[in-house]
Structure 1
Amino acid sequence: MSAINYQKPQLRNTRENNQNMVDFHVHSNYSLDGTIPIAKLLKTAKRLNLGLAICDHNEIQGSLEAGQQSDVIIIPGIEVN
């Protein structure tokens, strides 16, 4: 029998070691299943020292907007359905 142990990731300040952490799948309020405005995503990411790949459903505008508004690392994405 096998088990998967899910744990909260240890978000430490990795930039001191020239490392960056990125959440590779985030939805904003541009997606039907996302409710978080871009400004709030950016504020939270900056506080956690975290980059974001904003992958809204069939929509790229959230990624583009985020990339213009902040110095947070943004990887533009789109989830096509």
Structure 2
Amino acid sequence: MKIELRFFASVREVLGVSQESVTLPEGVTTVGGVRAFLRERGGKWAEVLAEGRALRMAYDQEMTHADTPVRDGGEVAFFPPVTGG
């Protein structure tokens, strides 16, 4: 299954990439699974996408949770929580 990834704000800055296309290995079927798959890259990927780290996720441009299923051609985005004032 091939999906599009998008990275925003400080996540993009740390990773040094704003978007990429990836082919997911068999068994990666949720947004949380995508996050775990990317953490396996190690280094800065493991750090910025760490479990328990405050991170927002979207699937096909809608806010979502880790258990949201992904489909071929979908888009998963990662970004830090937004604060304002």
What is the TM-score of this pair, normalised by structure 1?
0.29
Instruction: Choose 1 or 2 for highest CA Rg.
Output: 1
What is the TM-score of this pair, normalised by structure 2?
0.28
